[in-house]
Amino acid sequence: MAAEKRWSKLNALTRLALIALAVLVVGGVLGFVLWWGALRRRRTGLHTTHGHPRLRRVMLVITVAPIIVGSGSRITLGAVHLDRCPSLADGEAVVAMRDDGEDFSVRVEKIATWAPSGLALLYAEARGAEICQYSPNHYYVAARAETGRPGAAVTVGDVVLSAPLVAYPETRSLAEHESRHRLQWAWFTVAAGPYAFPVAYYADMFFFPGSRNHFERWAGLSDGNYPPSGTGPVLGLPQIGVLIMAGAAPCIWLLRRRRRRRRTGK
């Protein structure tokens, strides 16, 4: 009987550890802190769970699956030997092609962006893009990978998906610009998971498009070849509609919560 209790406790601890790891991978430090706080409140009886647990499990699987696929892709495709990206004939780009070796911060950024980098490599491989290693900034470049933004390069984790007409970053400044996006990916991934940065970036882009985008401004507009177009937000009908819905959502949530408390008497 004692052995069965120890085994049951070990299984419970193992499940708890796996759930904690999944929450940390999906939600970063912020997600883990919120989950741990909810777990403590539930154990002390200060929190009751509402909703559908099966739906929560399905959503967890949906969010974890791309991370698993991306991590596996990063291991398999990243292990393949890739040539260095070709340098230009002369000028600044030749100096930029010198490899000074990876420092500790670059390695941390690579580890933090492991899953999205794997998904980007998998996408580039499926599109038949030419993948090479850009030595000065230690990231991958997928040439002729369709980005959905004509003439532009898109950084996904540790991979730069370049437009069909852009074979590789041609100057040191553009390379530095893209490497700063990798740093942004890393910080947001550690803080709130691998989905945090793309959500934050495109939410910012919705109100601050082009050179108004705060992430692009931090990465360097001139280095990224962005023409200046102002700094303030763009408030058209779509933006105003989103702001109205964002303001209405907490009010609706509070009303539903009050009605639930009246029904339950709590």
What is the per-residue pLDDT for 3?
53
**Nearest-angstrom CA–CA distance, 113 and 25:** 11
The lowest-confidence range among 101-105, 139-143, 212-216 is 101-105
Cβ–Cβ < 8 Å for 104, 152: no
What is the per-residue pLDDT for 230?
78
**CA proximity to 47, closest of 32, 37, 56:** 37
Tokens of residue 166, six digits: 């852009």
Global pTM reads 0.80
In which band, very low, low, confident or very high, does the pLDDT at 265 lie, cut at 50, 70 and 90? Answer: low
122-174 pLDDT, tens digit each: 988 888 888 888 877 788 888 766 665 655 778 999 998 876 544 455 567 77
The backbone torsions φ and ψ at residue 115, rounded to the nearest 5 degrees and listed phi first, read: -65, -50
What is the per-residue pLDDT for 117?
93
Asked whether the CA dihedral 116, 122, 123, 124 is positive or negative, the reply is positive
CA dihedral 132, 138, 140, 143 (to 10 degrees): -60
Annotated domain spans of the chain = 67-194, 196-256
